[in-house]
Structure 1
Amino acid sequence: MIAINNLSYGYSKQKPLFEDLNLSQNNGNIIGLLGKNGAGKTTLLKLISGLLEIQKGELTVNGFEPFKRVPDFLSNIFFVSDDPFLPSLTIKAYLKVYGALYKNFDFEKMHKIIDAFELKADKKLKNMSFGQQKKFIIAFALSTNCSVLLLDEPTNGLDIPSKKIFRKVLVDFIEDDQLVIISTHQVKDVETLIDKIVHIENGRIVFEKDVFKITEKFQFKTVNTISGLLDVKYSEKCPGGYRVIIPVIENEETELDIELLFNAISNNVEINI
């Protein structure tokens, strides 16, 4: 569980990145953390993981203050950064050294995931491509069985087949009692995975809703024309017509289009649930 109360943090005292930020998330969710470049997504993940110290307010993860980085906290949280640092070890050696740091590490799960990603256990991590390194660290993160997983741009560097495998292993190997936060600009890569959206703009949370509640109230469709449509919340021109967000009509629900929703929120459209 993550609890943030009146958090303030900034790289400059003149212009705080976050000021009086509040957020509470329980385990059992996969959250999509969205926002423009510079909105503070990566900074927030680093604060949650204890890599940065809050300047004001309160932040606890599983009851611990992250920046104190006590062993019981560190053994139950894993942060996959956009550009992970990996030592000059083989996968096999890395697992032997670092797997022991996580009390619930599942070696059988790890081997299943690296097989799915077609990684070789005797290959040195430093000799792998960036995409292969990302696949490895994702596999390791899932195998720790930490209650909190933080994934910053996890699909960067993955080709199309690997993105498909990423989605499959996340569905297959995430446990029901874990809390997963995925920060990404590649929203199409994760829109079938997440069950909650948190959108940050200008250092504050401007949208925080369950996917089920969004699709229960709004449709995301492509139409030939918007002429005659009632109560169009947001529209974008596209080949063949328009992509639109409109209220659900006669219980006709559609799949969520995160990119369209993101653009609507970024354009200050109120999506009231």
Structure 2
Amino acid sequence: MVSISQLSFGYGKQVLFENLNLNLLPGHIYGLLGKNGAGKSTLLKNIAGLVFPQEGSCTVNGWVAGKRQPAFLQELFFVPEEVYLPAVTTVQFLKATAHFYPRFDTEQFNAMLAEFDVQPNEVLTRLSYGQQKKVMIAFGLATNTSLLIMDEPTNGLDIPSKTQFRKIMASALTDERCFIISTHQVRDLNNLIDTLLVLHNRQIVVAKELDEIADRVSFVTLPAGSTDYLYAEEGMAGLNAMVPNTTGTYSKVDMELLFNAIISNNQELINLLK
């Protein structure tokens, strides 16, 4: 699906990636996490062919992303962080753009708009930012492209809408589709993604399914004052901690705790997850 090999990229003297390697497969919802400025949006733009690697390569379904050939474009939809929509109704927007995507499903689109409580006859520029974001999310899902990329899709959504977003995203995934979602709001991806990607220090330092992470690390609560852990933060009932999973017991992955540990350069944990 997505194959990135030895990719290096930067703006001027600012290097964002060096010899970055990554392979993404269909049938997964990937969550891309990283600190502000780590290059999450730029990585997504490399995959979408909107910027070009200085070294290395990026292909999607065998197509070189940077060439943006029609066969590549009709199998990819990108929802950017900032959306700018024309002063037309949703119906008019659909008529002008849906035909570029061979598997676009109008019924699916209308059903998702209804789920999001967006009126189809409103002029898009008169909608709130959150409502505009919902239109683009629904449109992207209804294209039924093999690759869907979303950059901070929950920005502008209220709490009920974030719940709807997770439900709709999960229902739209098939074995033939790959979703990549970048966010700095880690909790928005709870119960949605199945594979975690963490971009840190110019590399993807973690690229693991959540079940595999849970096989290697246990997320537990320890008494205050404990010291035998990989990483811990103070919580209401003691220490929210990670320890090596030596018993094979399953625990739910706390992505926020895990992310905080990684960006604190906890090398022991990073090595455990390689």
Fold agreement, TM-score > 0.5:
yes
Farther-moved stretch of structure 1 (77-86 vs 202-211): 202-211
Amino-acid identity (%): 44
Looking at structure 2, the residues matched to 249 and 65 of structure 1 have their Cα atoms a distance apart, in angstroms, of 43
Choose 105-114 or 218-227, whichever is displaced more. Answer: 218-227
Matched residue of 1:244: which SS?
A: strand
- 1:159, CA displacement in angstroms? 0.3
Instruction: Identify unmatched segments of 5+ residues in structure 1.
Output: none
The answer (yes or no) to whether the contact 1:41–1:200 under 8 Å persists in 2 is: yes
Residue of structure 2 in register with 1:237 after alignment = 234
C-alpha offsets along residues 106-165 of structure 1, whole Å, 9 cap, x if unaligned? 111111110000000100110011110111100111100110111111111100000000
- Counterpart of 1:83 in structure 2 is 82
Question: Which residue matches 1:180?
Answer: 179
Instruction: Decide whether the 8 Å contact of 2:29 with 2:178 is kept in 1.
Output: yes
Q: 1: CA distance between counterparts of 2:250 and 2:225?
A: 19
Equivalent position of 1:29 in the other structure: 28
Normalising by structure 1, what TM-score?
0.95
Distance 1:225 1:47 in 2: 45
TM-score norm. by structure 2 comes to 0.94
Structure-2 residue corresponding to 1:68: 67
Amino acid across the alignment from 1:257 = D
Partner residue in 1 for 2:129: 130
Q: Offset at 1:96? A: 1.1
Q: Is contact 1:29-1:195 (8 Å) kept? A: yes
Question: How far apart, CA to CA, are the structure 2 residues paired with 1:158 and 1:60?
Answer: 32
**Residues 213-232 of structure 1 mapped to structure 2, 5 A cutoff:** 213-227=212-226, 231-232=228-229
In 1, the alpha carbon distance for the partners of 2:201 and 2:261 equals 16
* Conserved? CA contact 2:27–2:173, under 8 Å: no
Residue 53 of structure 1, CA deviation: 1.5
Q: How far, CA to CA, are the matches of 1:9 and 1:243 in structure 2?
A: 36
2:140 & 2:15 partners in 1: Cα distance? 31
Partner of 1:252: 249
- How far apart are residue 224 of structure 1 and its match? 3.9
Q: Distance in 2 between matches of 1:149 and 1:122?
A: 25
Partner residue of 2:9?
Answer: 9
What is residue 205 of structure 1 aligned with on the other side?
204
Instruction: Give unmatched runs, 5+ long, in structure 2.
Output: none
**Deviations 1:192-215 (CA, angstroms, capped at 9, x unpaired):** 111111111121121221111111
Cα-to-partner distance string for 1:44-77 (whole Å, 9 max, x where unaligned): 1011101112221111111111121111111110
Over the aligned positions, Cα root-mean-square deviation in angstroms equals 1.4
C-alpha separation in 2, matches of 1:240 and 1:194: 27
Whole-Å Cα distance in 2 between the matches of residues 186 and 72 of structure 1? 33
**Contact 1:191/1:256, CA 8 A, preserved across alignment:** no
Distance 1:193 1:18 in 2: 27
Relative to 1, partners in 2 of residues 1:9 and 1:251: Cα closer, same or farther, differing over 3 Å? closer
Aligned to 1:161: 160
Which amino acid letter does the alignment assign opposite residue 254 of structure 2? Answer: D
Judged with a 3 Å threshold, the aligned counterparts in structure 2 of structure 1 residues 72 and 243 are, in CA distance, closer, same or farther, namely same
Corresponding residue for residue 261 of structure 2:
264
Residue 226 and residue 31 in structure 1: after superposition, are their counterparts in 2 closer, same or farther (change >3 A)? Answer: farther
SS at match of 1:10: strand
Mapped partners of 2:161, 2:114: distance in 1: 12
SS at match of 1:133: helix
What's the offset of the Cα at 1:226?
Answer: 4.8
Q: Distance in 2 between matches of 1:99 and 1:119?
A: 18
CA shift in 2, pair 1:136/1:226, >3 Å: farther
1:143 alignment partner in structure 2: 142
